[in-house]
Structure 1
Amino acid sequence: MHKATVLTRHLAAVSTRNVARSTVSLAKAATLRRTSLPVVQHNSQQVRRYAAPLTDYHDEGQGGLTIPEQIQQIVNPSNSERIRLALDVTQSAYVQKKKDLGYELDNAVKARENETHDKLDGLYDKVRKKDVALTGADYEAFIDGYHFVQSVEGCLRALRDMNKHGFPPSISQYTMVLKLAANKHRVTTIYLIAQEMQLAGIEDTKENYAPFFSSLLLCLGKTGQIENSYAVYLEMIERGIVPGSEEIHYVITGLATIGEIDLALQILRESLGRSVAFNQKTYMHTLANAGFYMHHEAYKLCYDQLTTVFGAQITAGDCEAGLSIAARNGDSTLAADILQRLDTAGYPLQEFHFEALFDALLFCKKWDLAFKVLDNMRQAGYGKSSKSLRTLTRALTTTRDEAEELAEEVFTRLVNSQKTMPDVVDTNVLNAMVSGLASSKCVEAAASCVVSWFNRLGISRDADSYVGVLKACAESGNKTIAERMLTMLLDTDGLEPTKEVYELMIHTVLNQINYEDAFVYLDTMKAQDMVPEWSTYAHIVRRCAKVRDPRAQTALGEMRSLGYVVTPALESYASTYGRNPRYAEAVSEFERFGTAAGSEGSAKKDSKDSGRITLEDILGADAFKI
């Protein structure tokens, strides 16, 4: 019995929400019954707004109650009825052995609301069929009743009839229904209410129509119509209507969701400038999207607000996104703060967490601090692979005029830190520095540093020490330095070339006029059970096809045997470059004059200046227009 009493009280508390508002409305109606207001002009008829007494219509079945009293009885039942409903639900759940009694009580409350809505509709239809002359207070009671049961359509119908019969609704009534429509996500209803406001003759001012725009923006934001909500926001700003924090929240979070981080950041800053206070959800949502789209300024602003103003705990995923942003933008302060927070929260820090701080320091050229972080990482067993030092290579990659000076400066700092931080100096660090210098097109300087830097520090080289220089040689076609590096690798250091070294030598030779050595390196790779990559075979095919070398088809056959994809463009490359039937004859004629065959660059030289016959002289000026 005790449990039933508790559940009964719970249901009564749930069912009596908004009773205070209904009571106020009835009190207002009772006051208006005794009040006489001045006559106003509406629809060319002389009517009195709320001036007439309450309707004399009484329902015999309701004991002679007036319309507001009947509505009050419908929406606010007696305590005995609530108790009876709770007991029925409790007894039914006990008989049917249902465990979730709270769920059954909620369903009963919803059924009660639906029943209340049907009773209101029945009462409204009854008084309309009997042509009862309703007053403004009667319509207001119906609006409050429909608002109590959350019926947007009922409120709109009462508003229309109220205005139609000479009782223009007030701005507060329109605002109440607009907010209800926004909560119910009824965009069309909001526009219909705005039309009713215009028909009622409400002046188009920002004070009168501010509720309409606010409700429309909220509804569009909640339904995911982001572009439309932003357009409404701009319209509000143009009209001088200041949106609230809730409206701006949906605009900012919506724009951030679709990747318009710049617009979201602009609105956020403007709102903060107007001292608009946002809740924690706004910053959390914007922070997550700023991290996803790698937006530094938006992430930093939201991070500062969350940590300093709200004292919120950032999730591990958002912190990792912040570390990536800090590494990319050189924000070492942000990276250090995030690492400290992760460590304080007991999150296990991994190698990539420290790499973000190391990369951020390298990005902003703080070499000493970067080497200090690297030393700490290596003492913890991190940062020993070449992948961890890729940012060092990118940091040293600059213009050709500044590269040598910058590389020497960093090397000097590295030498000075060798005594205090011995774990920093090793082969991988020097390899990364040489690669950065070579990537700056300083091939000759990088080749000399391979010798001088390693000898000065007494560090042995490995095959990867030459890879950076060989990559630059392959891009620039510098065969001389490439062969010198290969000779040092084999003879001086006595190392075995890796697959990458052989492939870089092949690419370098293929950029030359005489590319026969490329097949020597290719055969050497095969003899050592090294399988060339797809890009290596594709380069061979394109190079041979340019001079109608039949080995292009051989390379295509090997690609198919290895399971590589042979694209139609690559397969038709030979026919594209070899469509001139006189090409072979021209090549043989060209060789008779001592000029290497197949060189398009030498064929395009002016024969008058060189004094030699070229392929262009034999085939014509349009021979090489492919």
Structure 2
Amino acid sequence: MGEKINSTVANETGKHTLFHPTASLTNYNNQLISLVRSRKSSPESVLKKVLNIVGEMNSQKLRYDLNTYNALLAAYARAKDQTNVTETLRKMEEEGVSPTTDSYNLIMEAFGNDKNIALQNRLKEEMQQKGLELNSVTYYHLLRGQQNNIELALETLEDMKKRGIEPTLLTYSLLIRSCRAKTSNTAFNLLKEAEEKGLPVQNEPRMYFDVLRLGTRRDEYEMVNHCWNKAITEHSLRPDEGTCLHVLRVAAKKGDTKLATDVIRQLSTNGYPYKEHYFTPLMEAFLVKDDLKSAFNVLDIMRVSGVPPTMNAIYALREKLSKDIKTIDKAYYILEELRREKKAVDVTAFNVVVAACADAGDLERTISTHREAENLGVKPDVDTYNAILDVCIKARVDKMDKVVIEEMKKANISPNIDTYIKMIELSCNRANYEEAFSYLETMKEYGILPPERCYALLARKLSYNKDPRFHLVLEEMETFLF
């Protein structure tokens, strides 16, 4: 039959092969090595199978050799069983089996799993005392143990280089993962060092994305731009949505419209449907470059892409315009220019100019801009009229709101929640504030839960006037859990 007679219970679920009682140590070791090299089973399952085989070896009184001990060390290390790792090392030395660099690397792995730096350093000293050569695997496990101490890890990297041991791609990846936001520049330097050494960083895409995310947290434009171009443009890697949004924010802040456009294109390529907050950073990037016309064009791009822009989308544009009357006028002239070029003027672009006039408290400009809607080919919507109500509040213009409401009715435009909030605020600014109650009840009739601000405005007015209905309003607020 030969030396190895198999009584097979092996199958794909991982049960091991039983050997004839006369099977040699080599046969057992081969199976042990096969088990510890396999990544199909959990470390605990592998350890159990290894111990079963070792039990058979013990029953045959077979003496362990270096391969046996190394397999045991590997199984214990991956199961994070430090106690038995230490015991196995002690036993092999008692049996006169000298641990090799590979043996110590397996022990280093166990203590690296637990971030036990002190024990790792002791093992390193033992290796040096025994004249064992430290290699890249030794240093990899040392660095794993030092992941929470980047300063120490960098010292270890330098020690590694001094010994003439070239850091591997995994070494750099590990070090980069050890970096936090405050050490983002360190991570970037490590990445560039790996690239300069000609290491295939694209095979470890996490490195680019780790550095990219660190860069976005610190608004490090150069870092973000480099990683994006390398990872996505050059190596066609696929970033997640969250990473893209962080890059968009950095691009907006720097005014890099090309990067912002690339990110939006990548989001679409990745299968994400267009959303409003994808486009607002592009608009903001144009604003940083003081390119108002292109910022307005983004609104048209949004609408063509199936994302009708809301007033939330133009917050940054509105804020920029409202700070300076000259900028408001410049924006209006751009709308006229678009009209002359036979291009459609987006109603949201028109609204932002009206709203900016209102924010500046310029009643005359607000009304006159609104009156130009027809000349610009724009049909005012509810946001247009809400902007006019804003200037009425700011300038404390009395009765103008009634004119606005009448115009809305003629244009068949229904008020929204913002409209009602503004109408209530205008009512509360008057000596006679009864209409505020009427607006509140109208909202309820339409099935709209009045926002807390409506009640807060009314309660403040009632309190100031010592109106006994103050307590009724408070009770209603409590009912709605405000």
On the 8 A contact 1:326/1:332 being kept in 2, the answer is yes
Counterpart Cα distance in 1 of 2:301 and 2:321? 31
On the 8 A contact 1:393/1:436 being kept in 2, the answer is no
Tell me how far 1:552 sits from its aligned partner. Answer: 0.5
* TM-score, scaled relative to structure 1: 0.54
Match of 1:564 in 2: 480
Match of 1:237 in 2: 154
**What residue identity is the alignment partner of 2:331?**
V
Can you list the C-alpha shifts for 1:499-524, whole angstroms capped at 9, x where unaligned?
A: 643431332453x5xx4332234325
Counterpart Cα distance in 1 of 2:309 and 2:239? 31
Please tell me whether residue 114 in structure 1 is matched to residue 21 in structure 2.
no
Alpha carbons of 1:178 and 1:471: their partners in 2 closer, same or farther (altered >3 Å)?
Answer: farther
Match of 2:329 in 1: 408
Counterpart Cα distance in 1 of 2:218 and 2:225? 11
On the 8 A contact 1:372/1:421 being kept in 2, the answer is no
**What residue identity is the alignment partner of 1:202?**
Q
Secondary structure at 2:159's aligned position in 1? coil
Tell me how far 1:193 sits from its aligned partner. Answer: 5.7
Alpha carbons of 1:197 and 1:406: their partners in 2 closer, same or farther (altered >3 Å)?
Answer: closer
**What residue identity is the alignment partner of 1:518?**
Y
- Supply the RMSD in Å over aligned alpha carbons: 5.1
Match of 1:603 in 2: none
Tell me how far 1:235 sits from its aligned partner. Answer: 0.8
Aligned ranges 1:213-232 → 2 under 5 Å = 214-218=140-144, 220=145, 229-231=147-149
Out of 324-333 and 402-411, give the one that drifted further.
324-333
Please tell me whether residue 271 in structure 1 is matched to residue 190 in structure 2.
yes
Match of 1:75 in 2: 29
Counterpart Cα distance in 2 of 1:236 and 1:346? 36
On the 8 A contact 2:211/2:227 being kept in 1, the answer is yes
Match of 2:403 in 1: 487
On the 8 A contact 2:459/2:470 being kept in 1, the answer is yes
**What residue identity is the alignment partner of 2:403?**
T
Counterpart Cα distance in 1 of 2:27 and 2:442? 97
**What residue identity is the alignment partner of 1:490?**
E
Match of 1:336 in 2: 261
Alpha carbons of 1:492 and 1:456: their partners in 2 closer, same or farther (altered >3 Å)?
Answer: same
Alpha carbons of 1:483 and 1:253: their partners in 2 closer, same or farther (altered >3 Å)?
Answer: farther
Unaligned runs of 5+ in 2: 1-7, 16-20, 35-39, 77-82, 161-166
Counterpart Cα distance in 1 of 2:69 and 2:425? 80
Tell me how far 1:488 sits from its aligned partner. Answer: 5.2
Please tell me whether residue 466 in structure 1 is matched to residue 385 in structure 2.
yes
On the 8 A contact 1:470/1:504 being kept in 2, the answer is yes
**What residue identity is the alignment partner of 1:431?**
N
Counterpart Cα distance in 1 of 2:261 and 2:348? 25
Can you list the C-alpha shifts for 1:266-323, whole angstroms capped at 9, x where unaligned?
A: 2321103433543333246538956997967465443222124433344677656655
Match of 2:317 in 1: 395
Can you list the C-alpha shifts for 1:552-571, whole angstroms capped at 9, x where unaligned?
A: 113234546xx4225xxxxx
Counterpart Cα distance in 2 of 1:460 and 1:208? 76
**What residue identity is the alignment partner of 1:484?**
M
Aligned match for 1:548, one of 463, 466, 475: 466
**What residue identity is the alignment partner of 2:466?**
R
Counterpart Cα distance in 2 of 1:164 and 1:114? 20
Counterpart Cα distance in 2 of 1:359 and 1:244? 42
Please tell me whether residue 176 in structure 1 is matched to residue 105 in structure 2.
yes
User: Identity of counterpart residues, as a percentage?
Assistant: 16
On the 8 A contact 2:355/2:366 being kept in 1, the answer is no
* TM-score, scaled relative to structure 2: 0.68
Match of 1:147 in 2: 70
Unaligned runs of 5+ in 1: 1-7, 16-60, 64-69, 83-102, 128-140, 221-227, 567-626
Match of 1:418 in 2: 339
Counterpart Cα distance in 1 of 2:333 and 2:147? 58
Counterpart Cα distance in 2 of 1:72 and 1:542? 89
Counterpart Cα distance in 1 of 2:414 and 2:188? 57
Tell me how far 1:413 sits from its aligned partner. Answer: 1.6
Tell me how far 1:462 sits from its aligned partner. Answer: 4.5
Tell me how far 1:535 sits from its aligned partner. Answer: 1.8
On the 8 A contact 2:213/2:243 being kept in 1, the answer is no
Counterpart Cα distance in 2 of 1:509 and 1:294? 46
Tell me how far 1:246 sits from its aligned partner. Answer: 2.0
Alpha carbons of 1:74 and 1:372: their partners in 2 closer, same or farther (altered >3 Å)?
Answer: closer
Alpha carbons of 1:197 and 1:299: their partners in 2 closer, same or farther (altered >3 Å)?
Answer: closer
On the 8 A contact 1:471/1:504 being kept in 2, the answer is yes
Matched residues, number: 432
Alpha carbons of 1:123 and 1:267: their partners in 2 closer, same or farther (altered >3 Å)?
Answer: farther
Aligned ranges 1:352-371 → 2 under 5 Å = 352=276, 355-356=279-280, 359-364=283-288, 365-371=290-296
Match of 2:441 in 1: 526
**What residue identity is the alignment partner of 2:328?**
A
Alpha carbons of 1:287 and 1:209: their partners in 2 closer, same or farther (altered >3 Å)?
Answer: closer
**What residue identity is the alignment partner of 1:236?**
A
| Structure exhibiting the larger radius of gyration computed from Cα positions | 1
On the 8 A contact 1:437/1:443 being kept in 2, the answer is yes
Tell me how far 1:146 sits from its aligned partner. Answer: 1.3
Can you list the C-alpha shifts for 1:417-448, whole angstroms capped at 9, x where unaligned?
A: 2133432x154321122213433x44446534
On the 8 A contact 2:257/2:285 being kept in 1, the answer is yes
Alpha carbons of 1:229 and 1:334: their partners in 2 closer, same or farther (altered >3 Å)?
Answer: same
Counterpart Cα distance in 1 of 2:22 and 2:301? 85
**What residue identity is the alignment partner of 2:174?**
Y
Counterpart Cα distance in 1 of 2:130 and 2:294? 66
Counterpart Cα distance in 2 of 1:545 and 1:417? 50
